[in-house]
Amino acid sequence: MSFRLEPATIEDVPTLVTIFDEAFAQDAIFHHIFKDVPKEVRWERDLKWYSAAFENSESNGARFTKVVDTSNGEVVGFSKFDVPHIVTAAQSESGPRNRGSIPEGTNVPLYDDFFGKVDRGLRKWLDPEKDTYLHILAVRPKYHRLGLGSRLIRAGLENADAARSKVYIIASPVGLPLYLRHGWKKLDEIVVDMNKYGGSGVVAEELLLRAVEPEC
């Protein structure tokens, strides 16, 4: 099988939403936040969110890259890196991430707990005018473990290295070993007690930093 990487465009948005949905279906936090939201409502919300991210990509630094299966042209994975960009007063007020609307059925206490901790972690550590943020990495499950996540990571890191930019990520438990292999180090933790929100156990997502290599 062979694959190529290329910039994603706004025409890819429905496919990216589907890939995200498939890739994160087993993610405990996302599952519990949205499990009572009808699929079509979530779909519409995500379409709007991704479309806006593309439309505003000049001002929000969003860079989407897709992986295409060259045998059939199918998009099978993508990344969203937020590269350093000027932060406007409005962006600063709305917080690190504009997450779009909260649809009816959302587990709001869990949403607030998780994204509140994410936002505080990002505000504490990341300077969006200087640093890069790997916001989303998703590969369709049947294409896992073929090195596609690593190719998307390497492409984004090359750009960050060229700009001498630190790169942050909030790692899911599934993504963590992969990121540690690509040079990220643990910096902070986002811990959610799922027992309070209809789930079980405690989920820890790691806020990771990949520092800039010192110049020789």
Ligand X SMILES: CC(C)(COP(=O)(O)OP(=O)(O)OC[C@H]1O[C@@H](n2cnc3c(N)ncnc32)[C@H](O)[C@@H]1OP(=O)(O)O)[C@@H](O)C(=O)NCCC(=O)NCCS
Q: What number of chain residues touch ligand X (CB under 6 A)?
A: 18
Spatial contact of 97 and 118, defined as CB atoms under 8 Å apart: yes
Q: Please give the residues from 106 up to 145 whose contact with ligand X meets the rule CB under 6 A.
A: 137-139, 144-145
Strand order in the sheet with 3-7: 3-7, 62-69, 74-82, 132-139, 167-171, 202-210, 185-193
**Helix boundaries (H) for 137-214:** 148-162, 176-181
When the beta carbons of 129 and 189 are compared against ligand X, the nearer one is: 189
Is 148 near ligand X (CB under 6 A)? yes
The least CB distance from residue 176 to ligand X, in Å, is 8
Looking at the Cβ atoms of 96 and 149, the one nearer to ligand X is 149
Q: Which stretch binds ligand X (CB under 6 A): 82-90, 121-129, 166-174, 184-192?
A: 166-174
Question: Both tokens of residue 13?
Answer: 């948005």
Q: Tell me how far, at minimum, the Cβ of 72 lies from ligand X, in Å.
A: 18
Contact pick of 171, 194, 207, 208 for ligand X (by CB under 6 A): 171
Give the three-state DSSP class for 83: coil
Q: Contact between 192 and ligand X (CB under 6 A)?
A: no
Q: Which of 175, 194, 197, 203 binds ligand X (CB under 6 A)?
A: 175
Torsion of CA 47, 41, 29, 149, to 10 degrees: -30
CB of 126 closer than 8 Å to CB of 96: yes
Binding region for ligand X (CB under 6 A): 23-24, 137-139, 144-150, 171-172, 174-175, 177-178
